[in-house]
Amino acid sequence: MEVQIAVAKVNKYATSESGDTLEVVERPNGGLSVVLADGQTSGRGAKAISQMVVRKVIGLLAEGVRDGAAARAASDALFTDKQGKVISTLNIASLDLHSGTIVLTRNNPSPMFICRGEQIDQRGEESIPLGASRNVRPLITEIPVEPGLTIVICTDGLIHAGERRGLPMDVEETIHSVLEDQDPSPQTLADSLLAQAVSLDENRPADDISVLVLKVASRTGDNVRRMTVRLPIEGNMRS
Amino acid sequence: MEVQIAVAKVNKYATSESGDTLEVVERPNGGLSVVLADGQTSGRGAKAISQMVVRKVIGLLAEGVRDGAAARAASDALFTDKQGKVISTLNIASLDLHSGTIVLTRNNPSPMFICRGEQIDQRGEESIPLGASRNVRPLITEIPVEPGLTIVICTDGLIHAGERRGLPMDVEETIHSVLEDQDPSPQTLADSLLAQAVSLDENRPADDISVLVLKVASRTGDNVRRMTVRLPIEGNMRS
């Protein structure tokens, strides 16, 4: 088998910095974790918050701390620092080679989507962001790693796209239409979701938008781990 | 413009864990850094060392510490911990949006390659790994970000491929032959280098091999940041 992860990310219109932070870390007992946080408001202040949360979580995961405990620790640290005045969403998607499972940790009112083949399970149970109070619990979902599994996680910029114009995004419907195609790559799915949202926002995203897609594919290729990153930069780089 | 980064990574034959660790971190003042370390020996012990080095460096970069200072700090920490008995190579490739440059930090006897168009500049000045002594200095190279620039960084598994059979890899020649093709993607270049090395090692890599390619392309697409990760996993995941 092969686990494939794709991310597509865009800033709110006319802001130079995204309030969303996403990073990947290797787990000390095998596998990897993708950590996504969306700090309250947008721009520089939100970026500092989401970076702090992601740093904290990644540092703990790298030490072997379990995902749920890392989320609680980050929440406590944020609450202690900001006294509940600033919150941040958090999603962790972990491939845990030790247990043979994918572990999904969520402190984010935005739903996530667990797809098996073309069947989509929207998971939108109530979930409180980090830093809101003293005792924030993450929702944890653990799924065996098996081919055909696709997981979609996003920040609320995707969910709320188009609302300004009264043409809200239907994320589940968009996922469905892409999955109908023959075995789309996770990058195709992430790009399609983002493109649909940006189009509904008339090419001026009303919020930072991040889309993360994790797919388990039947093994086809070699033993090589691969990663690519593409970072557009302005002509005037100091902007 | 767009900065494109690609990584291809394979384990030493018959080892389940690579001694090489590579991670990417966002820089707090804009841009990102890729950090690659190769711990001495192979397998679990080497992995612990390279992970410790990468964690240390990434934590400091995330706080805004400059690349050279982060490398020195990681070296001092490793030396203090292991008394010079264990060393680790380190390469940092940073896109610094604040200065408009690519900053390359090297504590690695293996050379790196700076290519402009088809012209290749092999940089192999003497460079000492981290943890070797009390006062290890990194070599720092700073280059303006401009289209046509391609940088290749690797661990010594690539450089020494084929030596067992007396058919050593010529990295520069392989880069040259790939760059002759029309505008190859960084993933194509990284994959070609890795495939050549694995072939020279008769499909049983004599060491962990990691190849990192950073390319500055003329801007063509949208404003979307993208990342993909592909992680092959064994049928029996606990292996």
Distance from CA of B89 to the nearest CA of A (A): 19
Best to test chain B binding among A224, A234, A238, A239 (most B CBs inside 10 Å): A224
What pLDDT is attached to residue A235?
55
What pLDDT is attached to residue A237?
46
SS3 label, residue B79: helix
Q: Which residue of B has its CA nearest to A146?
A: B235
Partnered with residue A210 across adjacent β-strands are A9
What pLDDT is attached to residue B236?
47
Q: Is B55 an 8 Å CB contact of chain A? A: yes
Contact B5/A237, CB-based, under 8 Å?
no
Q: Is the pLDDT of residue B71 over 50?
A: yes
Question: Assign residue A202 a region: left if phi > 0, alpha if psi is -120 to 50, beta otherwise?
Answer: left
Provide the token pair at B200. Answer: 């020279």
Tens of pLDDT, residue by residue over B151-194, are 999 999 999 999 999 999 999 999 999 999 888 999 999 999 99
B36 touches B90 (CB < 8 A): yes
Instruction: Tell me how crowded residue B195 is: count the other CB atoms within 10 A of its CB.
Output: 15
Strand A119-123 versus strand A88-96 pairing type: unpaired
Tens of pLDDT, residue by residue over B79-138, are 999 999 999 999 999 999 989 999 999 999 999 999 998 899 999 999 999 999 998 999
Question: Assign residue B44 a region: left if phi > 0, alpha if psi is -120 to 50, beta otherwise?
Answer: alpha
Contact B3/A231, CB-based, under 8 Å?
yes
Tens of pLDDT, residue by residue over A89-101, are 999 999 999 899 9
Q: Looking at the partner chain, which of A7, A59, A98 has a beta carbon nearest the beta carbon of B227?
A: A7
The single residue listed with the structure tokens 């690609």 is B6
Tens of pLDDT, residue by residue over B188-227, are 999 999 999 999 999 999 999 999 999 999 976 788 999 9
Q: Is A56 an 8 Å CB contact of chain B? A: no
Tens of pLDDT, residue by residue over A121-142, are 999 999 999 999 998 999 999 9
Contact B231/A7, CB-based, under 8 Å?
no
What pLDDT is attached to residue A238?
41
Q: Which residues of chain A have pLDDT under 50?
A: 236-239
Contact A191/B95, CB-based, under 8 Å?
no
Provide the token pair at B147. Answer: 């289209």
Q: Is the pLDDT of residue B42 over 90?
A: no
Predicted ipTM?
A: 0.92
Q: Is A194 an 8 Å CB contact of chain B? A: yes
* Number of CB pairs, chain A paired with chain B, less than 8 A apart: 184
Best to test chain A binding among B13, B185, B213, B224 (most A CBs inside 10 Å): B224
Q: Is A64 an 8 Å CB contact of chain B? A: no
For residue B227, the surrounding DSSP H or E stretch is strand B225-232
DSSP labels, B48-65: HHHHHHHHHHHHHHHTT-
Provide the token pair at B132. Answer: 């070797």
What pLDDT is attached to residue B181?
87
* A:115-174 residues touching chain B, CB 8 A cutoff: 145
What pLDDT is attached to residue B28?
86
What pLDDT is attached to residue A30?
85
Q: Which residue of B has its CA nearest to A211?
A: B226
Sheet holding B139-144, edge to edge: B20-26, B31-39, B88-96, B101-107, B139-144
Q: How far is CA B201 from CA A112, B89, B156, B205, B210, in A?
A: 44, 22, 13, 5, 14
3-state secondary structure A65-133: CCHHHHHHHHHHHHHHHHCCCCCEEEEEEEEECCCCEEEEEEECCCCEEEEECCEEEEECCCCCCECCC
- Smallest Cα–Cα separation from B6: which of B213, B226, B224? B213
Q: Looking at the partner chain, which of B24, B224, B238 has a beta carbon nearest the beta carbon of A10?
A: B224
Partnered with residue A23 across adjacent β-strands are A35
Residues A76 and A134: their CA atoms lie apart, in Å, by 6
Q: Which residue of B has its CA nearest to A99?
A: B238
